[in-house]
Structure 1
Amino acid sequence: MRGARVPKPGDDEFYSAPDGFEKLATGAVIRVRPVRIGLFGVIPQRVSAWQLLYRTQDLDGRPEVAVTTVLAPHGARPWGRPLLSFQCAIDAVAPQCLPSYALRQGARVIGALPQLELPQIGAALERGWLVSVPDHGGTAGRFGVPREPGYRALDAVRATIGHLGLDESNPVALGGYSGGGLATVWAAEVAGDYAPELNLVGAVAGSPVGDPGATLVRLQGTVFAGFPAVFVAGLCKAYPELDRRVRAGLSPEYAARLDRAARLATLPLLARFARSDVDRHITGGLRAFLATPQVATVIDDIRPGVVAPKLPLLVFQAVHDEVIDERDIAGLVDRYRAGGADVDYLRDRLGLHTPLQFAGTPLLLDWLADRLTGQQIAGHTRTVVSIGFDRRTARGQRRFAATVGRMLTGRPLRDRGTAAAPARIRRLRSRPVAS
């Protein structure tokens, strides 16, 4: 059954910041509403879901609001359950690609990546976990801006814990892939200073764009040229000097195309910009433009790895990834380890970018489940032929396929969390919960 059409964020008063919100603490909840979740906006899902508007901040510490979508197994009591902050690969600046819109039943958008990632969220719900899905790009669509996704994700966790009345020691995990993996490592990097009170047990970042500047250059002229185009469009919102230089250096034709990119969902964007090469549209060529001091400063700022996360981290990556260069990811892992971080790094020889995201779903959940039980990580680099050849992951993939089947047919997801929860989490079930 098709749900009633829901308004896009620009037409929805829920997203508007009220007067005086700046005085609130980061993570404070401003508005709450229950929502219905729909696979591809059409197939209703038997889950409990709410949206929270909360106070957070941007790159420069200026107060702003953001929305997170909080999901729980249908009818489940929330206390005593681990909380997963799942960062979707939004990879767009168009507001209809925000998870808070794209995941709702009645959303009308073609090509928004969060809709494709909903089964991964469903797999976490079947573990009995709570899931927070933040709009980590912000309502202004600042895709690619550093550190901001971390602030928004962590403040979404604060908002979720406060709204549901969870215990302060409630375990929290982070996860995401590709653009969501990049948002996850930003959250892991800033967490130690920004949200030290959170009980973060670990983070999993799949293919997390280890060097965005290098990726921007490499993808020009390829079928994935839409990614650097929208990346630049997002960065221009946060760096006024970059915006001025881009506008001055680009041909009017390409500048107009960038403006149109702000209205496109991810998959139509990739189709529109396929094989487009900005070298032909920018004065002196792209490499020369990126080498100018003002632009080079921005490129350095958007590269993760300066701060080593204080929580354990798993990074997994396809060796022959056609979008993200494995050498960039290896460099990120090396920077983290040099700073003292505990990092497991898993390389997959047969995987490609998109297939590895879904093949790696059981890996992501199993690795985080091990952290919830207090298991230590090895901190090694391993290269495997395929993640799917691992016996434990293969079992998880069969369960994941069953999850997808239930979601496609609108059947309730199975809540296996009560029996599987570690004892130290089950003990929290005696705590009262806010309504």
Structure 2
Amino acid sequence: MRCPADIAAYAPGSLIRSRRVELSLFGSVRQQVQAWQLAYRSNDLFGRAEIAITTVVLPAGAVADPDRPLLLFQSAIDSVTERCAPSYVLRHHTRAPGSITRLEWPLIANALRRGWAVGIADHGGMKGSFGAPREPGYRSLDGARAALSFMPLGLHPRTSIALWGYSGGGMATAWAAEMAPSYAPELNLVGAVLGAPVGDPGEVFLRLHGSRFSGFPLMVVAALRRLYPDLDAALDADILPEGQALLAAVEKLPPIVALLRMSGQSFDEHLRRPLDEILAEPKIRAVLDDLRLGLSAPACPLLVMQPVDDQVIHCGSVDEQVERYRAAGTHVTYVRDRMSDHFTLLPLSTPMSLGWLSDRIAANPLAPPSTRTVLSSSISAPSLRGLIGVVGTALAVATGRPLIGAPIASRGPHPVEKAA
């Protein structure tokens, strides 16, 4: 997308242009929603002005409502290629096999069914900076600023804003929540749900390297070497030509395809010395430390959801992230799920996540901070009823029917502690 020559003169979040778009499921089933794409000014990792894009959505037939909240959903884009950006994959007549965002859309639609507005930013930016620190926070929060100023949404400066994301999207949501107090203090953030939020990306990188999920760390390396000169220099000094070709290939792959093709790939095979030795260098350790979450305190309350036996994100690293937040004074409700794995917790926890956010939007009292390890976050009367609604929403999305639900103000409290 063309960037204005004077982009630095725009305030962060300033709307540059907009366009009406059609959304669809898997590029073929038109969705009965109102949708626009907003281009706005944001920042890269080094604070340089750039253009960013968010897709904003209203239920079909929605009329102006001053009580309508805005949900910022941070997708698990988990890719370097721009063909996996939400602004591309959610549009009608696009082809993006292997995109995770398309699989998340039937879950996002449950927020529209509640009458909420939804914003889905391309939080990886134009260059697909998967795993980069802070950038997702800039782009998500500036996307909220742009949405609040976009008249067709009917929002206003004190609109209640909720955050939600899972896995790579949970990591992006954590960055947005951490950065909001200093970067966008004027936004009325009422709560954030972090699902499997990758508390220590460096630890995840080391643990997944050479595993059946090695596509994830390879994509992170491909993205981060563009941002960190020390990492790029270390790789250039030690990587063999076939390793360069591997990184070039993974830059073009959507996440699901990368996971399948790169399963079991050990980067050691493509280096002149062991990867552990390279990562132990002080400059590279500084890069990994820069990725760690939980070092700044979100001002809004958090619900953190995490599988105990997560095969991708180790539960212990999320435990430590939660403790860092609590030590800094953030209110955290932490639910660890024994039955779910990394790929099932997002759909199964959707009723609890949206119910908890509904309570925050309604300003219902918060229960004291807690950590609960439960059999399943879906085993409760509210969650089971919610899962029936999730299935109904998925059927409506799959058949292109309108998302009809209860009015905004009619949703009652969802007792997370009781549900857990």
Match of 2:374 in 1: 384
Residue identity matched to 2:141:
L
CA shift, 1:417, in A, is: 2.8
- Alpha carbons 1:217, 1:286 under 8 Å: kept: no
Match of 1:405 in 2: 395
Is 1:76 aligned with 2:62?
A: yes
Superimposed CA distance per residue, residues 176-222 of structure 1 (whole angstroms, 9 cap, x where no aligned partner): 00000000000000000000000000000100011100100111121
- Identity level (%): 46
Task: Within 5 Å, give how 1:177-326 maps onto structure 2.
Answer: 177-326=166-315
- Alpha carbons 2:116, 2:408 under 8 Å: kept: no
Match of 1:9 in 2: none
Find the aligned partners of 2:149 and 2:210 in 1 and give their Cα distance: 47
Aligned to 2:123, which of 136, 144, 148?
A: 136
Q: Residue 154 of structure 1: SS of its match in structure 2? A: helix
Match of 1:24 in 2: 10
Aligned to 1:153, which of 137, 140, 152?
A: 140
Is 1:104 aligned with 2:94?
A: no
CA shift, 1:78, in A, is: 4.4
Unaligned 5+ segments in structure 1 are: 1-14, 423-435
CA shift, 1:250, in A, is: 1.5
Aligned to 1:39, which of 18, 25, 33?
A: 25
- Alpha carbons 1:73, 1:413 under 8 Å: kept: yes
Task: Within 5 Å, give how 1:296-375 maps onto structure 2.
Answer: 296-374=285-363, 375=365
CA shift, 1:363, in A, is: 1.3
TM-score (norm 2): 0.95
Match of 1:428 in 2: none
Superimposed CA distance per residue, residues 364-398 of structure 1 (whole angstroms, 9 cap, x where no aligned partner): 10010011121214210001101111221111111
Q: Residue 307 of structure 1: SS of its match in structure 2? A: coil
Aligned to 1:395, which of 362, 382, 385?
A: 385
Task: Within 5 Å, give how 1:1-16 maps onto structure 2.
Answer: 15-16=1-2
**Structure 1 residue runs of 4 or more that deviate by more than 6 Å after TM superposition:** none
Q: CA RMSD in A?
A: 1.2
CA shift, 1:246, in A, is: 1.4
Q: Residue 389 of structure 1: SS of its match in structure 2? A: coil
Find the aligned partners of 2:229 and 2:245 in 1 and give their Cα distance: 18
Q: Residue 353 of structure 1: SS of its match in structure 2? A: coil
Is 1:169 aligned with 2:155?
A: no
Residue identity matched to 1:183:
A
TM-score (norm 1): 0.92
Q: Residue 85 of structure 1: SS of its match in structure 2? A: strand
Residues 283, 337 of structure 1: alpha-carbon distance in 2 compared, 3 angstrom cutoff? farther
Q: Residue 126 of structure 2: SS of its match in structure 1? A: coil
Residue identity matched to 1:177:
Y
Bigger drift between 244-253 and 335-344 goes to 244-253
Paired residues in the alignment total 408
Find the aligned partners of 1:198 and 1:417 in 2 and give their Cα distance: 24
Residue identity matched to 1:245:
A
Find the aligned partners of 2:99 and 2:86 in 1 and give their Cα distance: 9
